[in-house]
Chains A and B, each alone.
Chain A
């Protein structure tokens, strides 16, 4: 660390200034290295899920929604097995003539042993097809995912 002399000859003063500048340059270098490493970009898929505490209306008639079931290795659309690469196209065809947002809800039911990697692929395909993901959880609560 540079300690400042209060006087001295020109050569000593120049050396002191150089010392300071080197310190400054080094600190700035470290600062930018830290900033660059902390600014590593993460990528994510947003999901807006309204609170499930909202009141349920028991007499409300639910529209007939598309159902997607996921198991560890397979996906089925309204009960029929569908290969994952074809899911997006088939769903898009089903949702094409639906205009209201509540009709575009796709109920997703996952088996307990479904891995997250499978689930995220299926929900990604549903969203790309224009569907709104709603989780069908075991407590009979529907969680709507936009």
Chain B
């Protein structure tokens, strides 16, 4: 008996591979978004004059327990100036935005020191607040 030899053409599944790559991109995008500052608990203060802000390179958060976080990592106030300065690097003025996410009940003893240190580091501060509710 004679069998006819079949020509098997093997084509890599490029479409499937592109799907996998795209899904991986989405996975890492979500992961990067989740790991930043979502675990830090803080409530913004209410105030007037809030404008939409763009994402900044440096973000400083003071949580409800009065702990200070620089880009999601807990830091001390002592060496904050040098840490912020090194994060900002040689960024030109206008792009040296530092987002301040200060919990509404934080006391002046903490936040004034923090503001002074960011100022020393040459940061351009943006206080993240919520628009005041009309009475």
- Interface on A for B, CB 8 Å cutoff? 1-4, 6, 20, 23-24, 27, 30-31, 34, 37-38, 41-53, 70, 110-117, 119-121, 124-125, 127-128, 135, 137, 141, 143
Please encode chain B, from 104 to 117, with 1 for each CB lying within 8 Å of some chain A CB and 0 for all others: 11111101110110
List the 3 closest A-B pairs by CB distance, nearest first. A43-B50, A49-B119, A110-B108
Check B116 against A135 for contact (C-beta < 8 Å): yes
Residues of B within 8 A of A112 (CB): 107-109
**Given A30-B26, A46-B124, A47-B127, 4 more pairs with CB closer than 8 A:** A43-B50, A43-B131, A120-B45, A143-B116
Check A47 against B126 for contact (C-beta < 8 Å): yes
Please encode chain B, from 13 to 47, with 1 for each CB lying within 8 Å of some chain A CB and 0 for all others: 11110011011001001100100000000000111
Expressed in whole angstroms, the minimum distance between the Cβ of A13 and any Cβ of chain B is 13
Expressed in whole angstroms, the minimum distance between the Cβ of A126 and any Cβ of chain B is 11
- Residue pairs across A and B with Cβ atoms less than 8 A apart, 6 shown, are A6-B11, A44-B50, A49-B123, A51-B119, A116-B104, A141-B116
- The answer to the question of B72 belonging to the interface, with a C-beta cut-off of 8 Å to chain A, is no
Q: In the complex the two chains form, what is the Cα distance from A6 to B103 in whole Å? A: 60
Q: A49-B119, A113-B107 are in contact. Are A128 and B112 (CB under 8 A)?
A: no
Q: In the complex the two chains form, what is the Cα distance from A110 to B121 in whole Å? A: 22
Residues of A within 8 A of B22 (CB): 27, 31
B19 CB contact (under 8 Å) in A1, A6, A37? A1
Check A44 against B51 for contact (C-beta < 8 Å): yes
Residues of A within 8 A of B11 (CB): 4, 6
